[in-house]
Amino acid sequence: MRTWLQSALARPRVRLLLTFAVIVIGLSITIFFGIRSFRSFQQLRYIQQQGLDRGTASVDAIRPWMTVRFVAVAYAVPEEYLFSALSVPYNQRNANSTLRDIERAYHIDASQTDTVSEAAEKLKVAITEYRANPVVTGLRDVRPWMSIRYIANSTGVPASFIFTQLGIPLAGNEDKPLDLLSEEQHYQGGPRAFAEAVQQALNAHQGQP
């Protein structure tokens, strides 16, 4: 005895509708991921064009789709300083939140465009002020995504001292993430060992064993 589903599938019209539905769902998924891929490509190209991956970008290059961590690394400004500028409570700080996410969560005016936002404007001012008067906020631990400039700004330890301890030239390397720098330098032990070496350099500057 055939079930209701088998009986329904036996009808040409039902099979046609199901086929159409599958095609629509497939196209929707393709379009969705296609748009995401296109946006990612646009963002990557923007990053390269503005020099955000080289530490040479103007503060005007900040966009709402960027995360706090990305902005911190791109401009070598401590994350905690940026969070403070955005008035995000200490126990609610997520470095992977985008500026747009923060605007929504903390009711910051987000009624502007995809290229301009109140959060971005706040960070432009904060970064400009930080560069005029760097503030040491401290660093819990060294991570592979950090650059030496970021670490130096966060800890107050001169970048030149860190590079001397590592035995690596400073010129052209200050703004590279540690994982990339360790790869370029063929550092024995990889990014993790390189991060540990940076931590040892910080300890040496503070007179710790």
pLDDT tens across 163-184, in order? 999 999 998 888 888 888 999 9
For residues 95-114, average pLDDT: 76
**Cα angle 123, 67, 160; round to 5:** 70
With left for phi above 0 and alpha for psi between -120 and 50, is residue 149 left, alpha or beta? alpha
Report domain extents, the chain.
12-50, 59-132, 148-205
Q: Say yes or no to pLDDT of 207 above 80.
A: no
Q: Say yes or no to pLDDT of 33 above 60.
A: no
Q: Say yes or no to pLDDT of 17 above 80.
A: no
| Mean pLDDT of the chain, nearest integer | 81
For residues 56-68, average pLDDT: 88
Tell me the pTM: 0.64
Structure tokens at 172: 């052209």
**Cα angle 186, 44, 122; round to 5:** 105
Q: Say yes or no to pLDDT of 1 above 50.
A: no
For residues 198-206, average pLDDT: 90
pLDDT at residue 165, as a whole number: 93
Q: Say yes or no to pLDDT of 194 above 90.
A: yes
Spell out the residues 6+ positions from residue 138 whose beta carbon is closer than 8 angstroms to its own: 78, 80, 154, 155
For residues 189-204, average pLDDT: 92
15: pLDDT confidence band, cut at 50, 70 and 90? low
Neighbours of 96 (CB within 10 A): 9
pLDDT at residue 104, as a whole number: 83
Q: Which of 10-24, 77-91, 148-162 is least confident?
A: 10-24
44: pLDDT confidence band, cut at 50, 70 and 90? confident
* Integer Cα distance of 197 and 185 in angstroms: 13
Give the tens place of pLDDT for each residue, 125-178.
Answer: 999 998 888 878 788 888 888 889 889 988 889 999 999 999 999 988 888 888
Closest CA to 19 of 28, 32, 9: 9
